[in-house]
Amino acid sequence: MALPLTKNAGSLCAAFGRWIATVMPIIAWLPKYQFSWLGSDFIAGITLAAYAVPVAMAYASLAGLAPQAGIYCYIYGGFVYAFFATSRHLSVGPTAAISLMVASVVGVIAAGDLPLYAAISALTAALVGLISIAAWLLRLSVFVNFIPESILLGFKAGAAFSIISTQLPKLFSVPGGGSNCVERIILLAGQLNDTNPTVLCIGVVAMLLLLAGERIFPGRPVALLVVLISIVAVSTFGLADYGVKVVGFLPPGLPKPGIPKLGVEHAGELIQLAFACFLLSYIESISAARTFAQKHNYSVDPRQELLGLGIANLAAAFSQGYPVAGGFSQSAVNEKAGAQTPLALVISSLALAVVALFLSGLLRNLPVVVLAVIVLVAVSGFVKTSGFIRLWKIHRVEFHVAMLAFVGVLLLGILQGVMVSAVASILLILHQMANPHVAILGRIPGTQRFSDLARHPDNELIPGLFLFRVEAAMLYFNVETIDKTVLRTVRASPTPVKFVICDLSTTPYMDVAGAQMLGRLQEELAAEGIIFRVAEAHAEVRDIIRAAIEYRRLGRISRFTTISAILTELSEYPGETPPDDRIDKR
């Protein structure tokens, strides 16, 4: 009996090993790692760390947390993500939109209590991690794709303006205030007389250096150089005496890992915030990951990325951080610096750990306005007017939905803006499905093929024949529209219609209501002396029609039923239903 047990144990171990390799892709790619890649990964990791130091501090300040919290997110979140990543270039850390979302919600709950603020932020990251892992277990990655790029275009633009409105007061060194973008801008306009010229000068110079550096040295840690220059200027010229606020003391070392603890009195608000952060984190991450995967000709696993982001957010939560995502900017830095594998993230995390342990004291004279400028420059790329113009030209409905997301974020805030965007995306899908395009077809000259007459006016019309195609699934909420459109067009025809054919080649699915609508349409047309047939139906659609109605009323329904075949059939049996031996179920 020992031999079968040994074989079973060996099989179980092999299966477990394969499962682990699937869950942790590093097990598969690390043994194949080529030594020639190490130099590129090392340079990319150091470059990413140099980029991350000022950006992480800036985003943490935007979130209302201590600057070092952003560095902790990069250290722990990026490190563990590397073990679960399928993307070679995605860099995980704080992002501008999530930072502002955290600030807008947690700031209200914590009400100035800094320890409570940090605990709530960490707990939010933990909830985001748990939601991501649950979505991975339930294979829900496909559902996040229901939010289209047009919605993200409006959301990102609105988020950019909201973030800018929170950072401009720091540029002018005024108090600011307001609960939404419009209120913040109005209050800022009334405070401009109190502008500190020294702070404004530092901010403008830093912004010019950042913009010029990004143009001249793309993909390089220009922000770190600007930070170093500003620290030297403040230390040398004593600019703190002129009202220039600085970051101040940053505690050296790494945080002690721990589980964030909090009561349940704000559970509802935190779950909403965590779900919104999860949506934003995954969409932003998978968009960036796919961009670089296409560029370098490899594939990413959207479901596996859910697990990677979930573990990364749990790591950020246990290290006094807040929700993280795969940002496009930091990923672009990683990719342009030559990263070959996720090992670059491990190297970056180790480099950032050295900074946190031994070099944090060098950052105490960093001007707060420089961090604000770093955020302003980073989010300026979110506003893509060309994208709105393109939508306006291509699809007005999508443009209006994108504007709805944009205005929702501006007036309601980031969290509510995410909800508005999600609802808008659902409404867009429902609008498109509820109003399918019903194309009137004509014969392509010199052929036996048919296409949309509106797009090709030179197509030939066959006297007495009305041919249409439904370019969508036929479902219970759109069949009435299809039915009315067909009847209205047939009755408005300038010449009498004797035959109507429905081309189902572009109808991928049909429910019972769709099949019953075809039967009802046949009855309505028959009452007016018009013969109705269907053609080119796919296999599943044919099965549904046969099961839902007395399909013999519609003539032959099989894989051989083409438009040309029906035309031939109608010429052989004018005004009659074909005999049963011409009906098959293939």
For residues 458 and 328, give the distance between their C-alpha atoms in angstroms, rounded to a whole number: 47
Determine the structural domain holding residue 302 and report its residue range: 22-28+36-427
454, 360: one domain: no
Residue 260: predicted pLDDT: 75
422, 486: one domain: no
Q: Is residue 544 part of a domain?
A: yes
Could you tell me the pTM of the whole model? 0.76
562, 443: one domain: yes
Q: Is residue 393 part of a domain?
A: yes
Q: Is residue 1 part of a domain?
A: no
543, 563: one domain: yes
385, 455: one domain: no
| Per-residue pLDDT reduced to its tens digit, 508-551 | 999 999 999 999 999 999 999 999 989 888 888 888 888 887 76
Site of tokens 């722990």:
76
Q: Is residue 399 part of a domain?
A: yes
Q: Is residue 10 part of a domain?
A: no
Q: Is residue 432 part of a domain?
A: no
C-beta atoms surrounding 140 within 10 Å = 15
User: What are the C-alpha distances in Å from 427 to residues 6, 401, 415?
Assistant: 57, 9, 19
Tell me the helices (H) and strands (E) count for the chain, helix number first: 24, 7
When divided into structural domains, the chain yields a total of 2
Contact between 230 and 206 under an 8 Å Cβ cutoff? The reply is yes
| Per-residue pLDDT reduced to its tens digit, 567-577 | 877 665 554 44
Q: What is the DSSP letter of 559?
A: T
Residue 78: predicted pLDDT: 94
358, 240: one domain: yes
Tokens of 83: 């073990």
* DSSP assignment string, 258-299: ------STTHHHHHHHHHHHHHHHHHHHHHHHHHHHHHHT--
Domain final residue, candidates 427, 458, 483? 427
Residue 577: predicted pLDDT: 47
| Secondary structure element (H or E) that encloses residue 452, with its range | strand 450-452
415, 271: one domain: yes
User: What are the C-alpha distances in Å from 16 to residues 11, 13, 21, 80, 301?
Assistant: 8, 5, 9, 21, 20
Domain final residue, candidates 394, 427, 460? 427
135, 190: one domain: yes
C-beta atoms surrounding 143 within 10 Å = 10
CA contacts within 13 A on the Cβ side of 567: 14
CATH code, domain carrying 454: 3.30.750.24
204, 330: one domain: yes
Q: Is residue 17 part of a domain?
A: no
- If we measure between CA atoms, which residue out of 234, 236, 237 comes closest to residue 246? 234
Q: Is residue 281 part of a domain?
A: yes
For residues 342 and 351, give the distance between their C-alpha atoms in angstroms, rounded to a whole number: 15
472, 536: one domain: yes
For the chain, how big is the Rg over CA atoms in Å? 31
Domain final residue, candidates 395, 427, 459? 427
- If we measure between CA atoms, which residue out of 423, 415, 361 comes closest to residue 108? 415
359, 478: one domain: no
459, 379: one domain: no
Residues of the chain with pLDDT below 70 are 1-11, 13-17, 143-147, 219, 262-266, 418, 551-553, 555-556, 570-586
